[in-house]
Structure formats: C-alpha cells, structure tokens
Structure 1
Amino acid sequence: MAGSVLENIQSVLQKTWVREFLAEFLSTYVLMVFGLGSVAHMVLGERLGSYLGVNLGFGFGVTMGIHVAGGISGAINHYAGGELLVTGPKSTANIFATYLPEHMTLWRGFVDEVFVTGMLQLCIFAITDKLNSPALQGTEPLMIGILVCVLGVSLGMNTGYAINPSRDLPPRFFTFIAGWGKKVFSAGNNWWWVPVVAPLLGAYLGGIVYLGLIHAGIPPQGS
C-alpha cells in the first residue's frame, strides 16, 4: 500500500509541468530569501547592512536561484516600536517590496523600470547568444548574478530595480496580509502596478533591441 502511494507521488512529480512548476517555485524562493534578507539587514541592522550588500544579495541570490532551478523574526516590531509602517524613516514595508522615493514621479519611475529591465534582458540575450560571445558553458548563472548586481549598483537607486513582477507583487501581498495594510498599494501614487507592468514592457523592448541591432547582424556560423 505504502509502495503504491509512493509510486503514484513519484509519477506525479515526474510530469514535466509539475517539475517545472516546483523548480520555478523553489528557485524564486531562494532568490527572495537572499535578496530580501539583504534588504532587512540594511533597513534593520544599522551598521550590519548596506546598499552594496543589497545588490550583492539579489545578484548572487539570482545565481543560487538559477542553480536550484537548472522570515524575518521579531526584529521588525522592535525596530519600529511595534508599528508596521509603509512610509517614513522607520518604514519596514520596503524590506519586502519596492516603493517610489520622494525624488521620483510615478511616470519617471515607470520609465526607469522599463529601462533597467530592458538592460537586463539585452545583456541576458548577449550572455546566452551562442552566435555572439556567450558566457562559458556552466558560468551563465554567475554571469547573470553579476549582471543583476551591476544593474543595482549603477541604476538601482531610483526605484529599487524590481525588474521582475515576482520579486515585488507577492511580497507586497504578504505585507498587506501581515499587517501593513492597504497603504502598501496606495503609497507612491499607487506605485504597486509599475513593478508589475514596466518589467514586462522593458524585457520585450530589451530583447527587440538586441535581436534587431546585434543578433540579426551576426553572420551564420560556417559562412
């Protein structure tokens, strides 16, 4: 009986769509643990974290997540005096999702997210383009992790470079449910939809630019 149950479970896990779903789920989880953990260090840890640490956390979190796919404790309550704040100097919602800073307008932030994600997609195409100058086989996860880190160091200041809806929207829902309230969606002139829509548009544009300006001009191999 137990053997037949295990065989049934194994047969389900061997289905292609199940394996792909679980791989994407776990790899995204790994990315978020490392990335959001580095943000928590910066927000809560005073001298323990830094902006560079956030970029390294997300960059190499991507690397680990790619390899996998091939909580925060009571510190938050202590930091903000028992309040779960979305804005202000003691805000902690920004540990989990991106928020529009005061020096940015909504549409400037939208353009920024489109541009940064476009750069991400363009460079990923370059890293993996076998007809161009791709990364050495097996080093692609490391190169993509370095790419994410470079994007954060050079372009991440304005909007926090979500560059992926799954990096921003699920943690935002978590903060909504966990007590930060509806302000996680209304803050920043209803900023929440930008990290969902802009990365999709930016990825398409970055891919089109690379394919149109670089890939299309590469002579076929053997010609």
Structure 2
Amino acid sequence: MLKLRSLRVRNAVIRECMAEFLGTFVLLLFGLAASAQVKTSRSTKGDFLSVNMAFAVGVMSAMYLTKGITGAHLNPSVTLSFCVLGKTSWRKLVPYSLSQLLGAYVAAGLVYLVYYDAIMEFSGGVLTVYGPNETASIFATYPSEYLSLERSFLDQVVGTGLLLLCILGLDEKRNTPAPEALIPAVVGIIILGISISMSANCGAAINPARDLGPRLFTLSAGWGTEVFTCYNYWFWVPVVAPTVGAVLGSCMYLIFIDWQLPDPDLPEKTADIPTVSAKVKQEFAL
C-alpha cells in the first residue's frame, strides 16, 4: 500500500487537472455513447430522452468520481464563474479548461472507436454534417434549421445561466442545502431538467468543453472543416454563450439570493411588531 501511495502526484494543480480530465471524459463518454446509439440505430435503441438521461448520469458519476479533488467543475464556464466568485484561483482557469477540453476530445475518440462500425453503416462510409445520414451531431451540437443566430446565442446563455443559478446554492448552509453526499445526484437532476426542456433548439451544450472537444475530434477524424464552417460558422456560439450565461447566472445568484441571506455572524433583525407571546405577557401584566 505504501508503494502505491508513492505514485501520488505531488503537484496539486496537476492532480486537479487529472481529475478534471477524467471527470469530463466520463461525462462525455456517457453522453456521446448514448447519442451514437440512438443515432445509428435510427432511434430503435433509445430516443431523445435517452441521450438527456445519459448526460445527466454522466454528470452525476463524474462528480462522485472527482468532487473530493476539485469540486468537479467539468465545464470551463463553471470554472470561470467560480473564479469570478472567488471560489477558485484564477491561475487554475486555463489548466482546468484545457484538461476539460482534452477529456471531452478523448471521450469522443473512444466513442468513435466503439461505434465505428455502426457509424460507417449508418453513414454509408461518408462522414457528413448535413443530410439524413449525417453523423457529426453524434459528437457536437448543431442548431435547428429554423433557428437564428441571435436566438441560439440566447438559448445557450439562458441554459447555462439557469445551471449556475441552480447549483450555486446547493451547499449554502444559510439556505436549504442539499445533503453533501447527494449534491452530485441533485446536479444530475438539474442537468436532466435543462436538457429535456431546452435542447430542441441547438442541443443544450451549456458547456464549451462538451461541444468544442468533440468538434475538434470530428475535424481530425474525417468530417473536415465543415464542422466549423457550417451554419455560418455557428461553432463559436456554444463556446462563448455558455461563458456569458454562467457569469450572468452567478451574478443573479449573488444579487437575488446570496446577498439577501442572513449574515451568519449577526442575529437577524426582527420586526418592531410585537409577537403573540409578547402581547399575551402584556395582557397578564395588566
């Protein structure tokens, strides 16, 4: 056992980056594998809800796996928000984000290997972004045909803002905190709720690493530059919009909830209206 302990990485930031890499890898492995299964089976082995549930289970599993090391960010937008809120050092923003991006890229590669035969059979051996046999959407998100650029940006801002707004108070002792051991499960349920209510427009990426990592993989695996140029260079939306949404959601949490909670160091001021017990005492005194 002592020999195994000697394998422990000494540098704390490297340990944390390893956790973020593995956590994001697990998250994307669940989600992308479900997406590949549903797509290549032509929805005979799963459906829209299957993919959403797989991503939720992936988040929960990844959080249980890595929460004790980094808090399980698994999302560059979450890391940025935690930096803005002072929960994470700014020097960790880039290492964490790159680790998350790499984890998502490797997960996409493994899913591609596992489902290679199914993907080739479904696509006829032609890897495309458009058409009835396209397979690029297995890995990255793409907008619906009817969606404007402005609405897709708003969609991702709202979805990611809602995510941060809902998760920031889960461990707040002054409010109604979730049990520590159940926080990953609660976050998974929140992800599921956002996914099943806001993924029709453009896939509910709400995570730059979740979208950009697999998109980079498809670029290198044969789908070509069209994964970045399609839909009028739409690829930047699921990278930038979640970042904006996460910061806005965090600010909303601060303004509407955190700053309005009672100060733990000071007793809550009571109103000047006498309580029922005080009125009773006054009547007996008379």
Aligned residues: 217
Cα distance in 2 for residues equivalent to 1:180 and 1:172: 9
Cα distance in 2 for residues equivalent to 1:197 and 1:130: 32
Cα distance in 2 for residues equivalent to 1:128 and 1:102: 40
Q: Of the candidates 2, 24, 30, which is equivalent to residue 26 of structure 2?
A: 30
State the 1:149 CA deviation: 0.5
Which deviations, in whole Å up to 9, do the C-alpha atoms of 1:154-194 show, x marking residues without a partner?
11111101111110001001000100001000111111111
Determine helix, strand or coil for the equivalent of 2:181.
coil
1:44/1:75 contact within 8 Å kept: yes
Determine helix, strand or coil for the equivalent of 2:169.
helix
Determine helix, strand or coil for the equivalent of 1:74.
helix
Decide which moves more: 144-153 or 38-47: 38-47
> Normalising to structure 1: TM-score of the pair?
0.93
Identity %: 42
What amino acid is aligned across from residue 35 of structure 2 in structure 1? V
What amino acid is aligned across from residue 153 of structure 2 in structure 1? F
1:40/1:95 contact within 8 Å kept: yes
State the 1:214 CA deviation: 1.2
1:101/1:188 contact within 8 Å kept: no
Q: Of the candidates 136, 139, 143, which is equivalent to residue 179 of structure 2?
A: 136
- Residue of structure 2 in register with 1:3 after alignment: none
Cα distance in 2 for residues equivalent to 1:27 and 1:192: 24
> Normalising to structure 2: TM-score of the pair?
0.73
Cα distance in 2 for residues equivalent to 1:219 and 1:152: 33
Q: Of the candidates 197, 203, 209, which is equivalent to residue 160 of structure 1?
A: 203
- Residue of structure 2 in register with 1:49 after alignment: 46
Which stretches of structure 1, 4 residues or longer, exceed 3 Å deviation after superposition? none
Cα distance in 2 for residues equivalent to 1:137 and 1:66: 12
Q: Of the candidates 12, 34, 38, which is equivalent to residue 16 of structure 1?
A: 12
Cα distance in 2 for residues equivalent to 1:206 and 1:199: 10
- Residue of structure 1 in register with 2:223 after alignment: 180
Q: Of the candidates 66, 83, 97, which is equivalent to residue 140 of structure 2?
A: 97
What amino acid is aligned across from residue 62 of structure 1 in structure 2? V
Decide which moves more: 55-64 or 128-137: 128-137
- Residue of structure 2 in register with 1:170 after alignment: 213
- Residue of structure 1 in register with 2:102 after alignment: none
- Residue of structure 2 in register with 1:76 after alignment: 119
Decide which moves more: 13-22 or 92-101: 13-22
